[in-house]
Structures are given as structure tokens and as C-alpha cells.
Amino acid sequence: MNYKYDIDTKEFLYSFPESIDPLATKQAGHDVFQVFSETTKIAPPVIPVNKVTVFENNKWVLKDDLRGKKYYSTVDKSEIVITAIGVLPENIHTEKKPLSENHEWVKDKWIESIDKIKQSKKLVTQNLIDSLEFTVFVMTECFEKKKSLAQIKEELCSNIDKLKTIEEVKNFKF
């Protein structure tokens, strides 16, 4: 029996029976079996779940096969889909998905970070303050320039790409 393995990953693909090479047999005067690349006569072991057998150094070796599985970085929470044979780097990946951006990896689980919650609340609060300041500004412009809210909105919208900050909006000449 011949056992075929992948040219790149060296993982076992399939087995097929030996076949006689007719030309070589005729020339030699006895049976000569064909030799195929990326094959061996050594039978691979039974392959357990989440494992793959790889032909290395003239023998079959069992390796972890997590291809297609999702893991998450315990450093930056990014999703990682495994595409190669082998083990994961230690202590930087987990199958547990982070519950939110406010979670961080501590020991063996995601926990909610008080600091990140505070940062998030500060950002929401600042956005609300900016929005209120902007509303007051627009209403003041409407009153002082004797323009309708629709006119102010139209002028802002037509120039919105040029305005990057609240200060630039406040300094905009209507």
C-alpha cells in the first residue's frame, strides 16, 4: 500500500494500492513497483480528533489540527482563525470570546475593567457635552443671524467635509 501526503503540509491525504511499472518491469525482468512523489510505504497511525498525522523524518508524527477554529487574542481581543497545523502560542489565545471592549484577560478569564468603563463613560459624557455645546451654538447662530435652523443646517452640511473639530464649526462664517 502507498500512503500519499501533502507536498506543503506533509499531512496524510489518502492511501492507494501499489501498482507495477510495466516498462521498468519489462526492462528488469521482474516486477518493479511504481514510485510516486510524496508517498511512503509506512502506514500512518489512527488519527484522533483535532489531530493530524504529518510525515517528518521518514516517520508519521501526530500534531494538533485546530484549523478553522476561532481563538481570541488575550492581548488585544482580536479574533484569530487558525489556518496552519500545530499548537497555539502559549498564554496569548483563548477560545473564550471577550464579552465587550471593556473586558481584559486576567489569569484564565475575561473580566470587566473598571478603568475601561470609566474611560468609556468619560468619552460618552464628552460627546454629550460636545453635542450640547454644538446645539447651543447653532441656536445662537440662528438667533443672531436671523436665519432658520434649516438654513444653518444646509450651510453646515454643504461644508461638513471641511470642518474637522467643534472649534472649526464654531469659527465657521455663516
Residue 162 confidence (pLDDT): 67
Per-residue confidence band for 4, with pLDDT thresholds at 50, 70 and 90: very high
Residue 45 confidence (pLDDT): 95
Q: Hey, how many other C-beta atoms are within 10 angstroms of the C-beta on 65?
A: 21
Instruction: Encode pLDDT of 29-63 as tens digits.
Output: 999 998 889 999 999 999 999 999 999 999 999 99
Instruction: Encode pLDDT of 78-95 as tens digits.
Output: 888 888 898 777 767 888
Q: Quick one: DSSP state of residue 162?
A: G
User: Rounded mean pLDDT of 127-137?
Assistant: 78
Q: Hey, how many other C-beta atoms are within 10 angstroms of the C-beta on 12?
A: 20
Could you state, in order of their start, the residue ranges of all structural domains in the chain?
A: 2-64, 70-112, 115-170
Give the global pTM: 0.54
Per DSSP, the three-state class of 156 is helix
Instruction: Tell me the C-alpha distance between 85 and 62, whole Å.
Output: 10
Of the spans 4-8, 30-34, 142-146, which averages the highest pLDDT?
4-8
